[in-house]
Amino acid sequence: MRLNSILKSGFIVLIMFMLSTEVALSQDIPVWNKALLKDSVTALLTKYQVLHNQINSQADSSVVWSFMHLFPNPKVQVVNDLEGPAKITKISIEEFIVKLADLFPEGLNLTLDLSRPTIDQPKYDRNNRYILRVRLNRFISGISGGKVFSSKQKIIFIIAFYYSDNAPGNFTIYGMELPPAGQGVISAVVSPANTGFNNTTLNTDARLINNRGMVVNGGLSYTYFSSIHWGYGAGIQLSQYSGSVSLDKFDSYAGFDPSLTNVLINNELWFAELPLYFSYRSNLSKRFELRADLGLSFGFRIFEEMGSSAVNHNTGLTMTNVISDAGWISQMKRFNMGLLGNIGVAYKLNNQIGILAGLGIRQGISGLNNNSRTDFLSTRYEGQYNPLWGAPGKTINQAFFINLGASIRINGKDEK
């Protein structure tokens, strides 16, 4: 099976897998009325805001009781940042009320930015109960111990509700969290790749056939996720690009026929590449995560090799190094730049380590060489030079690859 077929099959399997995961996840989930969910969440959080702002050392017990009943029980854990950002903890809501009244006898004014909340898709919990997460900005200000206290913080409200008679109801605040701090992820991949060199002139030539090659590349990368979904990263990769040009036979040169047929000219370039990219991730399930990268890759050529072979028409023997092109390397550029893209799935073995599988592409943008053969059209079949680097127009490198590897999270926690 050719590599292109393998890559296509791999891609189809990957897409089917991702679709099947989505289907599996969505099998028992009702079709939600998003507007109704948003209205219900907004009503609950508005009530939370109003009652919160009525709590102080003189607050009526009915206010406290009503506030407490926004939560399913008094032990629900909420974020306590009443003592400043250096002392953020999680305490129960009943402890929070006591602390609030104690630290802010005149009350603590809270404003939730309900104009632009981010509401996740509800997830089934148990017994017809669903959980959803709402992210929004929260502002608080008050006076504590004679000092003005204020804070702006992104908060995640975890909201539970029941679904019965085809309608959501009984919305309560099931918990509160701070968004996870940034996460750093180190990944190591090995990439079997189908590579080649593209040149428009060569690709349309009837006799010079541009062939691709198979290699195995690999590298390390570091991705920093500054939010749940988005991040950016850099890495180092050792990449080989392999391709060959075949020709039926060399034409006579200056009246002499070299009697060489079935010509094959191999080209191998090795680069140290520095990928810089933006990254996206999304949980497909508890264990599986979709990951995608898009960015630029900067290459520095470290090795190169050119080889040629042909069959002697008279003897039938295969001869090697039938071309003397001493100047080809002087026409090559040391640096190049290209686009990179990766998409794949990570399977989390535990809280820190995962294994990766996916597909990727590198597409050169800058040319690899300075084409200087103005006589290419009249001399291209004579074997006086490597036609890949003599062809007019930009010659660029390209690779389609399968990524197989592992990743280790080195800091930060997953959002549950």
Partner 1 sequence: MSGKKLYIIVAIALIAGLLNTGCIKIETLPQLEIQVVDETGAIVSGASVALFDSSDEWNKRINPVQVWRQTDTSGKVLFVDLKEIKYFVYVRYDGKDNSVDEVSTDVALEVNTKKVMTIHIR
Size of interface with partner 1, in residues (CB under 8 A): 22
User: Residue 29 carries which DSSP code?
Assistant: P
Note whether 31 binds partner 1 by CB under 8 A. no
Q: Tell me the window of 63-71, 105-113, 238-246, 308-316 that interacts with partner 1 (CB under 8 A).
A: 308-316
Nearest residue (CB) to partner 1, 39 versus 375: 375
Binds partner 1 (CB under 8 A): choice among 5, 115, 314, 350: 314
Binds partner 1 (CB under 8 A): choice among 325, 361, 412, 414: 325
Note whether 323 binds partner 1 by CB under 8 A. yes
Note whether 319 binds partner 1 by CB under 8 A. yes
| Strand ranges (E), 165-259 | 167-177, 183-199, 209-225, 230-249
x/- mask, partner 1, residues 150-169, rule CB under 8 A, reads --------------------
CB 271 within 8 A of CB 254: no
Helix, strand, or coil (residue 7): helix
Task: Kindly provide the b/e burial profile for residues 342-355, where b requires at least 16 CB atoms within 10 angstroms of the residue's own CB.
Answer: bbbbbebeeeeebe
Question: What gap in Å lies between CA 219 and CA 266, rounded to an integer?
Answer: 25
Binds partner 1 (CB under 8 A): choice among 27, 315, 330, 350: 315
CB 363 within 8 A of CB 322: no
User: Residue 329 carries which DSSP code?
Assistant: G
CB 366 within 8 A of CB 333: yes
Helix, strand, or coil (residue 66): helix
x/- mask, partner 1, residues 222-261, rule CB under 8 A, reads ----------------------------x--xxxx-xxx-
Taking alpha carbons only, the member of 258, 265, 285, 290 closest to residue 358 is 290
Query: According to CB under 8 A, which residues from 77 to 136 bind partner 1?
Result: none
What's the min distance (Å) between Cβ of 307 and partner 1? 8
Note whether 219 binds partner 1 by CB under 8 A. no
With residues binned 3-state (H G I as helix, E B as strand, rest as coil), the percentages for the chain, rounded to 5, are: 20, 50, 30
Query: According to CB under 8 A, which residues from 363 to 402 bind partner 1?
Result: 382-384
Note whether 185 binds partner 1 by CB under 8 A. no
Residues in contact with partner 1 by the rule CB under 8 A: 250, 253-256, 258-260, 307, 312, 314-315, 319, 321-326, 382-384
